[in-house]
Amino acid sequence: MGNEVLAQLLSQLVARCALITLMYQTQRAAEHSNDEHGEIVRALAARNEDLAVQLMNEHLLHVEENLTFNRKLPSHDISKALSAN
């Protein structure tokens, strides 16, 4: 069964985080992030929980550090594209 409300909130949070990284992450940071995803998946496949946790923590720190909120947004701003107006 599970907690439907919590699952829905988590789903929305993941979607919003993806949009934020699309708008504020550089191409180089995105490529590095993708490499880190591979490392995390390999640790999980090897059932190495400690390594997977360590890699995920490092990954989240790297993503946060590499968001560039001061950059000029492209004219195809995704928030405008998805707005009702």
pLDDT digits (tens, 9 = 90+) for 18-74: 888 888 888 888 899 999 999 999 999 999 999 999 999 999 999 999 888 887 665
pLDDT, average across residues 7-15: 92
The residue segments making up the domain with residue 36 are 26-68
Examine residue 41 and state whether it is found in any structural domain, yes or no.
yes
Examine residue 38 and state whether it is found in any structural domain, yes or no.
yes
Q: For position 73, what pLDDT does the model report?
A: 61
Query: What's the rounded Cα separation, in Å, for the pair 3 and 72?
Result: 39
Examine residue 52 and state whether it is found in any structural domain, yes or no.
yes
Examine residue 58 and state whether it is found in any structural domain, yes or no.
yes
Q: For position 19, what pLDDT does the model report?
A: 84
Examine residue 17 and state whether it is found in any structural domain, yes or no.
no
Close Cβ partners of 43 (under 8 Å, ≥ 6 residues apart): 51, 52, 55
Q: For position 85, what pLDDT does the model report?
A: 45
Examine residue 50 and state whether it is found in any structural domain, yes or no.
yes
Examine residue 30 and state whether it is found in any structural domain, yes or no.
yes
Examine residue 35 and state whether it is found in any structural domain, yes or no.
yes
Q: For position 40, what pLDDT does the model report?
A: 97
Cα dist from 13 to 38, 45, 50, 68, 82, whole Å? 22, 25, 25, 19, 16
Q: For position 1, what pLDDT does the model report?
A: 54
81 or 29: which leads in pLDDT:
29
How buried is 4 (Cβ within 10 angstroms: 0-12 exposed, 13-18 middle, 19+ buried)? exposed
The number of folded domains in the chain is 1
